[in-house]
């Protein structure tokens, strides 16, 4: 008689799990370890940078010791700038406030443009362009060659300086007119020292020999041409007696003498 061998219901055969191979272990943990290494390196670098930055910010480290001034000085002197620049000496090379220094130096009226920079290891360099004065403006100001008015604390550059006066905003126009008058009248012996444009826009000229000339508002160039012709032929011989010449006449001029006499009648030109 044959008997069939019965299997238990629900029973399964147990299989032995294979041991992980070295390749499988590396695939599972190798990437994680690599990322961990990268993180540790970044942490180390960051800590080193933090320590280095703290060292660079140390007020007692890398002190500035020297100030170097570059630029042509005429009315400025290093003695004017050194006390201001000395404020940064001893400060940390990297942390010194050069913007404040630049602003303080720019406050000097003679300074037109300035650049402040650091030079390793301990130098502050000040490169500046000094304002070039043209002459006096009004009673207590000066004007530079670009028509900018300023009030200098001192004037070391020798003169003589011309004197200009006119409406606000006409600075460049007066400088241009002054140069044109000099070019026309210097050759005939009249050296202009003062040029005034009054509120009515009328022109007054004063020369180094004391002669004053009233040109008026109109026909400025034509009247100056007339003066250039009249002075060597007629006026120069009487220059010691003449106070003012008035050119506001179509074909002549009027003279006011230095005595108490009444002004002369217009003369034909």
240, with CB counted inside 10 A (0-12, 13-18, 19+), is exposed
pTM of the model: 0.74
SS3 35: helix
Q: How much is the pLDDT for 43?
A: 60
Q: How much is the pLDDT for 250?
A: 80
Residues of 66-105 as b/e, b for ≥16 C-beta within 10 angstroms? ebebebeeebbeeebbeeebeebeebbbeebebeebbeeb
Kindly calculate the radius of gyration of the chain based on its CA atoms and give it in whole angstroms.
Answer: 43
Among residues 111, 103, 151, the alpha carbon closest in space to that of 128 is found at 111
SS3 141: strand
Q: How much is the pLDDT for 25?
A: 52
**Residuewise pLDDT in 10s, the chain (269 residues):** 333 445 555 555 545 555 555 555 555 656 666 666 666 666 655 545 554 444 555 567 789 999 999 999 999 998 889 899 889 999 999 999 999 999 999 999 999 999 999 999 999 999 999 999 999 999 999 999 999 999 998 899 988 899 999 999 999 999 999 999 999 999 999 999 999 999 999 999 999 999 999 999 999 999 999 999 999 999 999 999 999 999 999 888 999 998 755 444 444 44
Q: How much is the pLDDT for 201?
A: 94
Contact between 80 and 109 under an 8 Å Cβ cutoff? The reply is no
Contact between 185 and 227 under an 8 Å Cβ cutoff? The reply is yes
Q: How much is the pLDDT for 3?
A: 39
Superfamily of domain 133-268: Cell division protein FtsQ/DivIB (3.40.50.11690)
How many other CB atoms are found less than 10 A from the CB of residue 123?
Answer: 14
Q: How much is the pLDDT for 261?
A: 52
Domain boundaries, the chain: 66-130, 133-268
Enumerate the H helices of the chain as residue ranges. 22-56, 78-85, 98-106, 171-185, 220-230
Contact between 267 and 224 under an 8 Å Cβ cutoff? The reply is no
Domain 66-130 has CATH 3.10.20.310: yes
Q: How much is the pLDDT for 37?
A: 63
Q: How much is the pLDDT for 266?
A: 45
């Amino acid at each position: 008689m044959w008997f069939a061998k019965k299997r238990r219901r629900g029973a399964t055969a147990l299989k032995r799990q294979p041991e992980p191979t070295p390749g499988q272990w590396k695939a599972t943990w190798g990437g994680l370890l690599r990322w961990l290494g990268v993180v540790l390196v970044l942490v180390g670098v960051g800590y080193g940078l933090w320590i280095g930055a703290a060292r660079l910010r140390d007020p007692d480290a890398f002190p500035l010791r020297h100030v170097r001034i570059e630029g042509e000085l005429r009315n400025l002197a290093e003695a004017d700038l050194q006390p201001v620049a000395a404020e940064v000496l001893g400060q940390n090379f990297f942390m010194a406030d050069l913007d404040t220094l630049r602003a303080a130096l720019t406050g000097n009226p003679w300074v037109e443009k300035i650049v402040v920079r650091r030079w390793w290891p301990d130098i502050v360099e000040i490169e500046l362009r000094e304002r070039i004065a043209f002459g006096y403006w009004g009673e207590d100001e000066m004007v530079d060659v670009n028509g900018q008015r300023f009030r200098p604390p001192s004037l070391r550059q020798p003169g003589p300086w011309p004197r200009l006066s006119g409406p606000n905003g006409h600075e460049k126009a007066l400088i241009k007119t002054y140069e044109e008058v000099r070019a026309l009248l210097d050759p005939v012996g009249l050296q202009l020292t003062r040029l005034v444009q009054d509120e009515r826009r009328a022109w007054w000229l004063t020369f180094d020999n004391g002669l004053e000339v009233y040109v008026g508002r109109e026909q400025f160039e034509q009247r100056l041409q007339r003066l250039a012709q009249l002075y060597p032929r007629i006026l120069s011989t009487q220059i010691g007696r003449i106070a003012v010449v008035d050119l506001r006449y179509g074909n002549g001029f009027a003279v006011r003498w230095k005595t108490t006499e009444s002004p002369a009648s217009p003369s034909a030109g």
